[in-house]
Amino acid sequence: MAKEVTSRAENYSQWYNDLALKADLAEQSAVRGCMVIKPYGYAIWEKMQSILDGMFKKTGVQNAYFPLFIPKSFFSREAEHVAGFAKECAVVTHHRLKNDPDGNGVIVDPDARLEEELIVRPTSETIIWSTYKNWVKSWRDLPILCNQWCNVVRWEMRTRLFLRTAEFLWQEGHTAHATAEEAEQEAFRMVNVYADFARNVMALPVIIGHKSPNERFAGALDTLTIEAMMQDGKALQAGTSHFLGQNFAKSFDVQYTDKEGKQQYVWATSWGVSTRLMGALIMAHGDDNGLVLPPALAPIQVVMVPIFKTDEEHAAIMEKFDSLKSALEALGHSVKIDDRDTLRPGFKFAEWELKGVPVRIALGARDLASGTVEVSRRDTLTKETVALEGVEQYIHTLMDAIQKNIYEKALAFRTANIQKCDSWEEFKTEIQNGKFLLCHWDGTVETEQKIKDETKATIRCIPIDSVVCEEEGKDIYSGKPSHRRVVFAISY
């Protein structure tokens, strides 16, 4: 083995950390809670960005860039919003360092105190809506469909690579509309884009739904979410899209003149996904040998390892590899030839398994003589001997099969671990067994809170696809009447 990975059964949490670190995705930095995203991890994030960005633009969204800093007074203008974020803010108070007159190196210059403190953005609704005020005059200026790719900071006390870090990378879309209906449609459109991306690119089955009022974004009238099941049965919120009503428009006085000449407040949405998706990718598909990357996101889709004894054999294999690499690249695949001369094939195999490369090709002198090649799949850990002639087409087709299989496997896992539940005793047991439970809920914050206090389970969403259960019943906890089941789970 290249590097020892803790097994999932032994310690799921340690397994996750091992994969993130040993597959060279990320590491903790010297700054508390801030991670370094290493080149291999960043290459996956770049693929996510590029694909999502294309999907956003197809819906008419444009990118822009807004300031990193938010004046404290802006931040406070929307009451629920500031309440939601005030406890985890990085605050800039000074703008200069100077040499300590007592010779203790460099200190913060007390004369360079800012008149008003600046908050490092934890999210940008306030600074963006203060900007939109100047952009919106008439109905002709709407809608505004802006997105930004940037860093944000939320001062988390307990951090985990990708899943919860003080600084993380994300995109945040902020749209402005003339009507409530248009804004709601936009919020739905974007959560559907996220679901499409999760399912078809990340190979991640997700449930789309509304958040319960308790779990809404601070300042939203409705939060839509996509929820995914990890291999320990916990839920991971993978993306959210918020209908913000007129809250921010009112806080920042953003009005437009409608076609009748009347002043109206603007309607808003915001929506975002973050580097947390990297965590979802690791946890949904990885196994005890390492990462399992869906081909659509793999920075290297095919790795080729030569197996040889003599220089002649090496030369003949490399020649074959070079032409096969070109053929695969022409079909749109990214290929790496691992010709490092200091490592044995077995070590290389383990390393590329750890890094989740979907397809590995091994070629030795005997294969060459017989006109065959060994093709290994990362997702199933199976090998096949395939004719060298036309192998690029074989791999091209295989790539789709792998993408599909990774999704199907995750879906089968979820299906096996999601169930209706109507008994409180069963609830308490099954929620600890890592199940998603479809239960009746009476719609009150009180019941939700009590269930959380007793079991740590929360309502992940009120589903609107995948597992919708509109039916009459009784709340699992309070016994009060309910019109639909919702998804309960313990979450990251």
Q: Is 21 in the site for a second copy (CB under 8 A)?
A: no
Q: Is 259 in the site for a second copy (CB under 8 A)?
A: no
Contact assessment for residue 27 and residue 35, using Cβ atoms and an 8 Å cutoff:
yes
36 strand-pairing partners:
27
Contact assessment for residue 177 and residue 183, using Cβ atoms and an 8 Å cutoff:
yes
Q: Is 389 in the site for a second copy (CB under 8 A)?
A: no
For a second copy, the closer CB: 95 or 383:
95
Q: Is 405 in the site for a second copy (CB under 8 A)?
A: no
**Least distance (Å) from a second copy to the CB of residue 37?**
4
d(C-alpha 256, C-alpha 263), whole Å: 5
401 contact partners, CB below 8 Å, separation of at least 6: none
- Residue 49: exposed, middle, or buried by beta-carbon count in 10 A (0-12, 13-18, 19+)? middle
Q: Is 76 in the site for a second copy (CB under 8 A)?
A: yes
> Cβ atoms within 10 A of the Cβ of 159, count?
19
d(C-alpha 58, C-alpha 12), whole Å: 39
For a second copy, the closer CB: 119 or 373:
119
Q: Is 204 in the site for a second copy (CB under 8 A)?
A: no
167 strand-pairing partners:
153
For a second copy, the closer CB: 109 or 446:
109
Q: Is 138 in the site for a second copy (CB under 8 A)?
A: no
**Least distance (Å) from a second copy to the CB of residue 282?**
17
Q: Is 218 in the site for a second copy (CB under 8 A)?
A: no
Residues 47, 51, 141, 155: which binds a second copy (CB under 8 A)? 155
**Least distance (Å) from a second copy to the CB of residue 114?**
9
Residues 157-196 interacting with a second copy (rule: CB under 8 A): 167, 169
Contacts 24+ apart (CB under 8 A), 70-77: 70/118, 70/119, 70/120, 70/121, 70/124, 70/126, 70/127, 71/116, 71/117, 71/118, 71/119, 72/116, 72/117, 72/118, 72/119, 73/116, 74/126, 74/127, 74/130, 75/119, 75/126, 77/126, 77/251, 77/252
d(C-alpha 414, C-alpha 487), whole Å: 13
For a second copy, the closer CB: 134 or 263:
134
Residues 1, 31, 381, 445: which binds a second copy (CB under 8 A)? 31
d(C-alpha 272, C-alpha 196), whole Å: 14
* Beta pairing class for 481-489 and 470-474: antiparallel
**Least distance (Å) from a second copy to the CB of residue 27?**
8
Stretch that binds a second copy, among 75-83, 210-218, 366-374, 469-477 (CB under 8 A): 75-83
SS3 422: coil
Residues 110-129 interacting with a second copy (rule: CB under 8 A): 117-120, 127
SS3 480: coil
- How many amino acids of this chain bind a second copy (CB under 8 A)? 64
Q: Is 72 in the site for a second copy (CB under 8 A)?
A: yes
**Least distance (Å) from a second copy to the CB of residue 120?**
7
**Least distance (Å) from a second copy to the CB of residue 316?**
27
**Least distance (Å) from a second copy to the CB of residue 336?**
13
From 209, 172, 134, select the one nearest 489 (Cα to Cα): 209
For a second copy, the closer CB: 99 or 393:
99
Q: Is 279 in the site for a second copy (CB under 8 A)?
A: no
Q: How many CA atoms lie within 13 A of 211 on its CB side?
A: 22
120 contact partners, CB below 8 Å, separation of at least 6: 68, 69, 70, 89, 90, 91, 92, 152, 153
- In the shown chain, the binding pattern of residues 49 to 68 toward a second copy, with x for contact by CB under 8 A and - for none, equals -------------xxxxxxx
**Least distance (Å) from a second copy to the CB of residue 383?**
30
- In the shown chain, the binding pattern of residues 81 to 110 toward a second copy, with x for contact by CB under 8 A and - for none, equals -x---xxxxxxxxxxxxxx-----xx-x--
Residues in contact with a second copy by CB under 8 A are 27, 29-31, 34-39, 42-43, 45-46, 62-76, 82, 86-99, 105-106, 108, 117-120, 127, 130-131, 134, 140, 146, 150-151, 153, 155, 167, 169, 342
